[in-house]
């Protein structure tokens, strides 16, 4: 039973103590193999926006797989469900007329955006614009470019330099972007990658006015602005499909995954503004990049069913409700001596930051004893990102479970 190598894990500890096996899910709850029920504080890994156990999505996937599971989206090939999904995503995009490039997940989406940013400038006759800029505390995935762009030191240790011409600036100071531009020259910078809310790095909302300021800096210096909405996309921001819509960012590129299918099947998508797509749509230019399962027909069917649920059940509005409810219910935990701070108030996300980050692994296990399935993000922060179907009463239970686990 120990053949499975878990991601982001001390496998010695897992091998010694055993895995926490989630056998079933229903709405905002998951169940272990013994049948014990847990409130799912994190919606899986940020993704189960519509909740667990949605038979409607399973049925849509099954129907698609019986027809054609997948073929390919290389060259001139595609499938009807994939075409339909691309049109749907373009219709809700923050930038009207956006083109949609499908991937297999968030890391793929960031890798695609990184390559496309450099290739775009090459097609513009400016091949020296190669530098890709990320922020401290940022998480953009674990492929080569996405690892290099990330600002979490533990995730880069032991690999050496993976991708040349990447830089990291402060996560909360727009002036640090200006300083980098002055240092290396705007003529060498291809793109700036920005999570609207720092997610896996510890759940840090942006300082007031930060997003508007860095977006304008990119416009002023001819740098592509890449909004990494793998976490915040498809309603997690609360009240809007995307943070880029809520904050009027109009990104040149936007990376997505997770909430696209609510995790029912792996899928990601890069939204590409018309002016970035134009050189490749003019004819004669190939973007030699793609994934075998990018735009998978079964995954597209899952996404279409998932987005239909979000619209029909008003889950964008429910995420906005959670923004307020989580903030109100969790705020008192900040007074606990074992808690340094609670970060909440923007989107259906929050973090309870232990005063001692080293306590996080033990706290995860203690939470389970009190019926809460949670996880630690960067810096030991206890991530909270529930399904949008979580009720206010369940949020109260969640806060109570945290309080009891803290003692």
How much is the pTM? 0.97
Asked if the model's pLDDT at residue 202 lies above 90, the reply is yes
Residue 250 main-chain phi, psi, to 5 deg: 45, 65
- What are the start-end ranges of the E strands in 64-164? 99-103, 131-135
| Distance of alpha carbon 365 from alpha carbon 254, whole angstroms | 35
Which stretch of 60-74, 123-137, 151-165, 172-186 has the lowest confidence by average pLDDT? 151-165
Q: What is the pLDDT of residues 175-197, one digit of tens each?
A: 999 999 999 999 999 999 999 99
**% of the chain exceeding 70 in pLDDT:** 100
DSSP 200-255: TTT-BPPPTTHHHHHHHHHHHTT-EEEEE-TTTTTTTTSSSS-HHHHTT---SEEE
Q: What is the pLDDT of residues 83-99, one digit of tens each?
A: 999 999 999 999 999 99
Q: What is the pLDDT of residues 251-266, one digit of tens each?
A: 999 999 999 999 999 9
Note the pLDDT of residue 1.
Answer: 62
Element (H, E) at 168: strand 166-169
Asked if the model's pLDDT at residue 335 lies above 90, the reply is yes
Note the pLDDT of residue 2.
Answer: 83
Give the chain's mean pLDDT. 97
């Amino acid at each position: 039973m120990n053949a499975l190598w878990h991601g982001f894990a001390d496998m010695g500890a897992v091998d010694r103590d055993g895995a926490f096996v989630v056998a079933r899910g229903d709405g905002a709850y998951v169940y272990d193999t013994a049948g014990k029920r847990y409130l799912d504080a994190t919606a899986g890994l940020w993704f189960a926006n519509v909740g667990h156990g949605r038979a409607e999505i399973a049925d849509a996937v099954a129907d698609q797989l019986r027809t054609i599971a997948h073929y390919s989206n290389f060259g001139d090939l595609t499938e009807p469900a994939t075409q339909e999904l691309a049109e749907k995503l373009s219709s809700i995009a923050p930038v009207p007329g956006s083109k949609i490039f499908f991937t297999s997940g968030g890391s793929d989406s960031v890798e695609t955006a990184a390559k496309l940013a450099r290739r775009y400038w090459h097609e513009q006759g400016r091949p020296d614009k190669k530098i890709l800029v990320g922020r401290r505390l940022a998480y953009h995935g674990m492929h080569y470019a996405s690892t290099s762009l990330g600002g979490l030191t533990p995730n880069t240790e032991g690999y050496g330099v993976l991708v040349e011409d990447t830089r990291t600036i402060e996560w909360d100071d727009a002036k640090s972007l200006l300083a980098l531009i002055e240092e290396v020259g705007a003529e060498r910078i291809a793109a700036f990658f920005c999570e609207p809310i720092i997610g896996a790095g510890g759940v840090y909302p942006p300082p007031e006015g930060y997003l508007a300021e860095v977006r304008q800096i990119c416009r002023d210096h001819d740098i592509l602005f890449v909004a990494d909405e793998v976490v915040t996309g498809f309603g997690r921001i609360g009240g809007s499909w995307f943070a880029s819509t809520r904050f009027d960012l109009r990104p040149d590129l936007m990376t997505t995954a997770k909430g696209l299918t609510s995790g029912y099947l792996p899928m990601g998508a890069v939204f590409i503004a018309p002016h970035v797509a134009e050189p490749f749509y003019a004819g004669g230019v190939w973007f030699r990049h793609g994934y075998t399962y990018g735009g998978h027909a079964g995954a597209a069917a899952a996404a279409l069913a998932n987005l239909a649920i979000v619209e029909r059940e008003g889950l964008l509005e429910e995420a906005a409700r959670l923004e307020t409810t989580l903030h109100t219910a969790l705020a008192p935990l900040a007074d606990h001596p074992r808690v340094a701070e609670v970060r909440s108030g923007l989107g259906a996300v929050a973090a309870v930051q232990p005063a001692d980050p080293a306590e996080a692994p033990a706290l995860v296990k203690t939470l389970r004893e009190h019926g809460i399935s949670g996880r630690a993000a960067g810096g030991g922060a206890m991530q909270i990102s529930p399904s949008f179907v979580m009720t206010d009463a369940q949020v109260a239970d969640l806060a109570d479970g945290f309080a009891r686990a803290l003692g």
